[in-house]
């Protein structure tokens, strides 16, 4: 069985991989340094004249920083970025990265983003940063989608990690929708909580003016395709960020540090 940190390529789409344990060599770098290394390697696949989906979160921020740096150096030209959040939009503008949207560019050449969980079959959970809907729209419009993770994001299965599976919902009758989600996922030991934000404990509001219900599951979700369809059929649900059937792409020998700095691509 090929390990996730074999250099350059793992050729089998959706093949199982070992879930790595933190290695002694990985401890020589901080978590943020690992994110930066992986993000910079992902940006190596960015070419001039591309339309890019710019992800949200601490890992994606490193990729945006690198794109801005290469533009300043003249090593990249005629790049157009489509940000997945207002926060990323502000950051990209501060780096003078030209921006647009899906109306002007309905096909995105490449998107780069992080992930919250990756299981041994390379199923992904994304969206805990709160940019679910825009991420799913932009990354779904991409020819290629590079997902950058370090070993801390590797889990044995999706569900049961005591971490949230975020679902973006309409504010209208949110309690009704949250309870329906809880009932649908009851077999997995689901607890559904409205995400709160701000000093007064009010509901967290997404860039699109929606709410997020975080679902905490005690059990393995099993077949994610079935779960995704089931959740998505609820009328109050706008986006649930779990991706299926990713395939590993690269891990450069030069930057290999145990099982860290993993990068994956979702193949269309």
What is the extent of the structural domain holding 61? 25-155+244-267
Beta strands in the chain (DSSP E): 51-54, 80-83, 108-114, 117-118, 124-125, 142-149, 164-169, 191-194, 196-197, 202-203, 211-216, 237-240, 242-243, 247-250, 262-267
**Is residue 50 pLDDT above 50, yes or no?**
yes
Contact between 146 and 111 (Cβ < 8 Å): yes
Q: What does the pLDDT read at residue 119?
A: 81
Range with lowest mean pLDDT among 41-55, 94-108, 143-157? 143-157
Instruction: Average the pLDDT over 45-60 and give the result.
Output: 95
- Do both 121 and 36 map to the same domain? yes
Is 17 among the domain residues?
no
- Do both 186 and 249 map to the same domain? no
Q: What is d(CA 253, CA 7) in angstroms, rounded to the nearest whole number?
A: 5
- Do both 183 and 121 map to the same domain? no
Evaluate the CA torsion angle 146, 237, 168, 101 in order and state its sign: positive
- Do both 151 and 250 map to the same domain? yes
- Give residue 202's pLDDT band: very low, low, confident or very high (50, 70, 90): very high
Q: What is d(CA 234, CA 183) in angstroms, rounded to the nearest whole number?
A: 12
Residue 249 CA, distance from chain mean position: 16
The count of domains in the chain is: 2
Structure confidence by residue, pLDDT tens digits, 154-190: 888 888 777 888 999 999 999 999 999 999 888 889 9
- The closest alpha carbon to 72, from 95, 40, 99, 88, belongs to 95
CATH of residue 99's domain is 3.40.50.1360
Structure confidence by residue, pLDDT tens digits, 218-259: 888 877 777 777 787 788 898 876 665 555 544 443 333 333
Is 217 among the domain residues?
yes
Q: What does the pLDDT read at residue 171?
A: 96
DSSP letter, residue 255: G
Taking the whole predicted model, whether its pTM rises above 0.85 is answered as no
Which residues are part of the catalytic machinery? 135
């Amino acid at each position: 069985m090929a390990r996730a940190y074999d250099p350059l390529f793992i050729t089998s789409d959706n093949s199982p991989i070992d879930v790595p344990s933190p290695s002694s060599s990985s401890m020589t770098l901080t978590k943020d340094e690992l994110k930066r290394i992986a993000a910079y390697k992902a940006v190596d696949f960015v070419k001039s004249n591309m339309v890019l989906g710019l992800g949200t979160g601490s890992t994606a921020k490193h990729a945006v920083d690198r794109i801005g740096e290469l533009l300043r150096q003249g090593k990249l030209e005629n790049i157009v970025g489509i940000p997945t959040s207002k926060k990323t939009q502000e950051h990209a503008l501060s780096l003078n990265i030209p921006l647009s949207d899906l109306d002007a560019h309905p096909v995105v050449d490449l998107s780069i983003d992080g992930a919250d969980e990756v299981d041994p079959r390379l199923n992904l959970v994304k969206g805990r940063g709160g940019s679910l809907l825009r991420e799913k729209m932009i990354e779904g419009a991409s020819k290629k989608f590079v997902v950058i993770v370090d070993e801390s994001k590797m889990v044995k299965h999706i569900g049961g990690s005591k971490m949230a599976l975020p679902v973006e919902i309409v504010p209208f009758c949110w309690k009704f929708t949250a309870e329906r989600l809880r009932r649908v996922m009851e077999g997995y030991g689901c607890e559904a909580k409205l995400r709160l934000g701000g000093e007064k404990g009010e509901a967290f509001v997404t860039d699109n003016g929606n709410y997020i219900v975080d679902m905490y599951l005690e059990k393995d979700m099993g077949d994610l395709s079935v779960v995704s369809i089931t959740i998505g059929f609820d009328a109050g649900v706008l986006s649930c960020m779990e991706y299926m059937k990713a395939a590993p792409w690269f891990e450069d020998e030069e930057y290999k540090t145990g099982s860290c700095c993993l990068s994956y691509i979702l193949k269309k």
